[in-house]
């Protein structure tokens, strides 16, 4: 044990000598006996913390792993927070889980701990999408909700998303208050694991029905769907929860020709047909694209394991299937929804859309053209949900989203929702087909009208404790020595959301940024490029979001301008020296 840092050794000893089950202790003892010091350090060097996505980590024994005890401690801490915040009130929570290995078991442990604390639990009796959990929290008048999922992470991961009474994930100050309560759980003996079954009720199909009815009521182009009801849609849930609701939502909207990717319809936490169950990765859509070519589909949809993100593919101008990125899909959705609302005469002057600061600024331009407010917020859908809750009853939310393939239409949910998004992407495709256009042509037309905005995300993975230190050092370097130019254009401003200030690099004058503190840096160049650097809150990564733009005179210029912008992004990444 001499090679372990004292703080790590102390945690290891605490687990080996504490009131933990024999299997857990045997797993830890094996790591000690085999002198697996790197793995022991990664498993015990810290406690799992709530990031932008809640609790997320690799499954296994240890304080920095997802297991019965870290989930139990999180739930006990959350229960203590709720009991303090809502004294002498009936407290209700909703719990759901996805298709990941152990999600059902961890969901049951979560339900047991809440029930043992005298809290009324509504537990989905089978796997369900994250957005339906958010919907259920609101619908049932719950004070909180928990979703057991690691979203699109690899199969070794699991996680825990905690929601507040508005159906959105916790934001300040409540997120910190929950974290403080979780941090106070210093011993496994502080966790009440003994369930009170009378406090647990099971829910299912009746909630599905309510949810499906409400999202179907949002449809804005039902006549176009009637005429294009045979639109060929290939859909894959990538072994996740989307299978429970996405096909039904498409059917309710009026689509009669939905073709499932059979090899990926069965929920399976091993995700046997993909490397990563992430619709952002082209490889995850291999089988869906193969099916699309076979049937000559109009649209390909694929959702991640907890069905809050959706990836799409459509035929490009050359007739080949092409995956759209999250910015392209988000821009198309906003453009379509605002056009449809205007055409239907639904605008009252109080409508708004929301996006994150690392999502395409084309959305701001589209909203401005319709006199619709576009709110920008920090990365993480909880901040979008927070604005929706603040504006509820005062202004009307139409649509919003973020570049990481997460979108929302309507006000029934406070998280990204691949179910409602899939339905509206299909509706949008039908709408343009009805006008003799494809979705890709609609994308190019949008670029001709507003300018060609090209975005690219570059993620650099740095694993373990040393990786985390490298990421901190990289951000410090950018803070203290911002690049002079990027992509051949002078850097004129630095937005530092950690310091909440924007610096004009011409005269070093500063102005305050309104958004809360966050470890994000944005470099803005003279020609309107925006490059954002952000360490991930849930993965061992630092992410660089590049956004460049240029006017597009006509469809004929598309390939040429696309190539120019592609080269510009490559040059920017070279200039950053990462």
Q: Which residues are catalytic?
A: 151
Coil, helix or strand at residue 316: coil
Q: Which helix (H) or strand (E) holds 457?
A: strand 452-461
Other Cβ atoms within 10 Å of 112 Cβ, number: 22
Beta strands per DSSP E along 473-540: 485-486, 489-496, 501-504, 510-512, 521-525, 530-535
As a whole number of angstroms, the distance between CA 402 and CA 447 comes to 19
Residue 109: HSE in the Cβ half-sphere, 13 Å Cα cutoff: 19
Task: Give whole-number Cα distances, 491 to 483, 521, 529, 568, 572, in Å.
Answer: 7, 13, 9, 14, 11
Q: 286-296: b or e for each residue (b if 16 or more CB lie within 10 Å)?
A: ebbbebbeeee
As a whole number of angstroms, the distance between CA 490 and CA 492 comes to 6
Distance of CA 14 to the CA centre of its chain: 35
**Quick one: which of 531, 540, 511 has its CA closest to 575?**
531
As a whole number of angstroms, the distance between CA 106 and CA 286 comes to 31
Token pair 């699991």 is found at 158
As a whole number of angstroms, the distance between CA 342 and CA 204 comes to 37
Copy the structure tokens of residue 342: 């205007």
Residue 497: HSE in the Cβ half-sphere, 13 Å Cα cutoff: 21
Q: Taking each helix axis from N to C terminus, what angle separates 326-343 and 418-434, rounded to the nearest 10 degrees?
A: 60
Coil, helix or strand at residue 335: helix
Copy the structure tokens of residue 32: 């000690």
Token pair 């429970």 is found at 244
Long-range contacts, 38-44 (Cβ 8 Å, 24+): 38/464, 40/4, 40/8, 40/12, 41/4, 41/5, 41/8, 41/464, 41/465, 42/464, 42/465, 44/8, 44/11, 44/12, 44/15
Residues forming a β-bridge with 546: 456, 531
As a whole number of angstroms, the distance between CA 560 and CA 528 comes to 19
C-beta of residue 175 within 8 angstroms of C-beta of residue 94: no
Q: What is the per-residue DSSP string for 364-410? A: HHHHHHTT-EEEEE-SSHHHHHHHHHHHTTTSEEEEEEETTTEEEES
As a whole number of angstroms, the distance between CA 457 and CA 326 comes to 10
Copy the structure tokens of residue 430: 């039908």
Task: Give whole-number Cα distances, 195 to 103, 116, 118, 231, in Å.
Answer: 18, 5, 9, 49
């Amino acid at each position: 044990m001499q090679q372990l840092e004292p703080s790590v050794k102390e945690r290891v000893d605490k687990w080996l000598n504490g009131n933990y089950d024999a299997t857990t202790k045997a797993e830890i003892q094996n790591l000690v006996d085999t002198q697996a010091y790197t793995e022991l350090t990664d498993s015990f060097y810290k406690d799992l913390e709530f990031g932008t996505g809640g609790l997320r980590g690799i499954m296994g024994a240890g304080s920095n792993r997802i297991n019965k005890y870290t989930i139990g401690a999180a739930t006990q801490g959350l229960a203590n927070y709720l009991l303090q915040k809502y004294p002498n009130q009936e407290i209700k929570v909703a719990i759901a889980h996805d298709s990941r290995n152990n999600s059902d078991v961890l969901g049951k442990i979560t339900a047991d701990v809440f029930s043992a604390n005298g809290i009324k639990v509504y537990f989905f009796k089978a796997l369900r999408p994250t957005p339906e959990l958010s919907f259920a929290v609101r619908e049932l008048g719950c004070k909180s909700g928990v979703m057991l999922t690691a979203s699109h992470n690899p199969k070794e991961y699991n996680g825990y998303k905690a929601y507040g009474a508005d159906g959105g994930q916790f934001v300040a100050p409540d997120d910190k208050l929950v974290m403080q309560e979780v941090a106070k759980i210093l011993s496994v003996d502080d966790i009440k694991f003994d369930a009170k079954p009378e406090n647990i009720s099971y829910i299912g199909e009746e909630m599905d029905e309510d949810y499906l009815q409400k999202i179907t009521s949002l449809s804005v182009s039902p006549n176009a769907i009637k005429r294009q009801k045979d639109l060929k849609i290939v859909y894959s849930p990538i072994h996740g929860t989307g299978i429970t609701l996405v096909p039904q939502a498409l059917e309710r909207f009026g689509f009669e020709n939905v073709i499932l990717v059979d090899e990926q319809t069965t929920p399976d936490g091993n995700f046997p047909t993909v490397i990563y169950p992430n619709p952002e990765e082209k490889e995850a859509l291999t089988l869906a694209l193969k099916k699309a070519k076979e049937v000559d589909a109009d649209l390909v949809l694929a959702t991640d394991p907890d069905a809050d993100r959706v990836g799409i593919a459509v035929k490009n101008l050359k007739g080949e299937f092409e995956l759209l990125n999250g910015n392209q899909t988000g821009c198309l959705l906003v453009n379509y929804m605002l056009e449809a609302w205007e055409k239907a005469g639904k605008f009252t002057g109080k409508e708004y859309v929301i996006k994150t600061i690392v999502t395409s600024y084309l959305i701001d331009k589209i909203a401005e053209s319709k006199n619709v407010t576009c709110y920008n917020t920090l990365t993480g859908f909880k901040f979008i949900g927070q604005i929706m809750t603040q504006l509820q009853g005062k202004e009307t939310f139409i649509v919003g989203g973020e570049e990481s393939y997460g979108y929302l239409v309507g006000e029934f949910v406070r998280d990204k929702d691949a179910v409602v998004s899939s339905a509206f992407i299909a509706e949008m495709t039908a709408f343009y087909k009805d006008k003799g256009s494809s979705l890709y042509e609609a994308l190019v037309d949008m670029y001709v009208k507003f300018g060609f905005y090209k975005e690219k995300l570059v993620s650099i993975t740095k694993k373990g404790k040393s990786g985390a230190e490298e990421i901190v050092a990289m951000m410090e370097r950018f803070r203290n020595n911002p690049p002079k130019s990027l992509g051949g254009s002078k850097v004129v401003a630095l937005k530092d959301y950690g310091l909440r200030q924007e610096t004009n690099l011409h005269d070093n004058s500063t102005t305050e940024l309104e958004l809360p503190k966050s470890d994000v840096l944005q470099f803005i160049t003279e020609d309107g490029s925006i490059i954002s650097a952000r360490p991930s809150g849930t993965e061992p990564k630092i992410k660089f979001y590049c956004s460049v733009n240029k006017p597009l005179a006509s469809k004929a210029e598309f390939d040429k301008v696309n190539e120019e912008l592609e080269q510009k992004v490559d040059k920017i990444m070279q200039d950053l020296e990462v």
